[in-house]
Amino acid sequence: MATEGKLEFTKQMRKATREIHDISDALVNAKLGIAMSDNSIWAEGLLCFYEIFKFLEQALDRLSHTLLSELDIKGMRRTKAFEEDLHFYYGAQWLENIYQPNGAVTAYLEYLACLEKENPYMLAAYIYHLFMGLFSGGQILRKKRSLEASLKFQSSTIISSQQQGESVTDFGDIPLFKLKKQMVEAMEHIAEQLGEEDRWKLIEESKNVFRMNNKMIRTINTNRIVLKKFCNFALIVVPTVAAIYFGYKMISNISNS
């Protein structure tokens, strides 16, 4: 069992990233919140993060002889789950089509490759925060999407289809609290083996995780959906207001005559 002292480093990470984490949460709520009711936005978000998770999991394979292997917790890997969801949303041949990651994703991948070359232990910040995000925030998004589907009175067939595109947040029978506990303990043990300078760098790199995520999330195009929602709103509200106005005018004319 982890002792109180062993939790100190992850608490430092959480404290150091609190401000940027709050900004990131607000951005996710603003951008991916729209994905609660629109699968195209959800799929675009998946496509961005797929590349990052795939890189990190492949890096774990390349660095399996190092301390980073402790972060490779059984049952946590998501690359196959991302691909299942992307096959569902974009079709089975999506990867064979002409697909190129956008500029923000490419810059993110290049940065991670540079870290792996110069100081691979810095990748621990990305592995820790991104997977912990799936264990926590990812589950909240999953529940919100499920609730949105039920509130729309969608048929069981449609709801079942939506669940088919939710593999990335589905960890099956693995208790999430267990994954979180193992991830924290692994991060603490790695930090204990690092020198003071690398521990400080890891905390600073943790802030960069959220900065890079934010840049990538900002590229998700929600303008079309916002416009669609506004048009739908206008189609309902404008005729209603007009009907009330002209109804009132008619009653006034009748009263005055």
Residue 157 domain-assigned?
A: no
Residue 239 domain-assigned?
A: yes
Q: In 119-175, which ranges are continuous DSSP H helix?
A: 123-135, 137-151, 156-164
Residue 1 domain-assigned?
A: no
Residues 171 and 245 in one domain: no
Domain range for residue 248? 222-256
pTM: 0.79
C-alpha torsion sign, points 113, 116, 119, 122? positive
Residues 92 and 38 in one domain: yes
Residues 49 and 108 in one domain: yes
Residues 31 and 57 in one domain: yes
Residue by residue, DSSP assigns 83-114 as: HHHHHHHH-TTTTTSS----HHHHHHHHHHHH
Residues 27 and 90 in one domain: yes
Per-residue confidence (pLDDT) for residue 238, from 0 to 100: 39
Do 89 and 39 form a contact (C-beta atoms < 8 A)? yes
List Cβ neighbours of 69 (8 Å cut-off, separation of 6 or more). Answer: 60, 63
Per-residue confidence (pLDDT) for residue 114, from 0 to 100: 98
- Could you identify the residue written with the tokens 């840049």? 215
Residue pLDDT tens, the chain, 257 long: 444 444 589 999 999 999 988 888 777 766 656 656 678 888 888 999 999 999 999 999 999 999 999 999 999 999 999 999 999 999 888 877 657 889 999 999 999 999 999 999 999 999 999 999 999 877 667 677 665 656 555 554 554 444 678 899 999 999 999 999 999 999 999 999 999 999 999 999 999 999 999 999 888 875 343 333 333 333 444 344 434 434 444 555 555 55
Residue 158 domain-assigned?
A: no
Do 168 and 138 form a contact (C-beta atoms < 8 A)? yes
C-alpha torsion sign, points 49, 52, 56, 59? positive
Closest CA to 80 of 138, 167, 183, 166: 167
Per-residue confidence (pLDDT) for residue 253, from 0 to 100: 54
Residues 58 and 116 in one domain: yes
Residues 196 and 230 in one domain: no
Residues 55 and 123 in one domain: yes
Domain count, the chain: 2
Per-residue confidence (pLDDT) for residue 32, from 0 to 100: 59
Q: What is the CATH number of the domain that holds 140?
A: 1.20.910.10
Residue 4 domain-assigned?
A: no
- CA distances to 56, 143, 144, 186, 209 from 164, rounded to whole Å, are 24, 14, 16, 31, 29
Residues 117 and 174 in one domain: yes
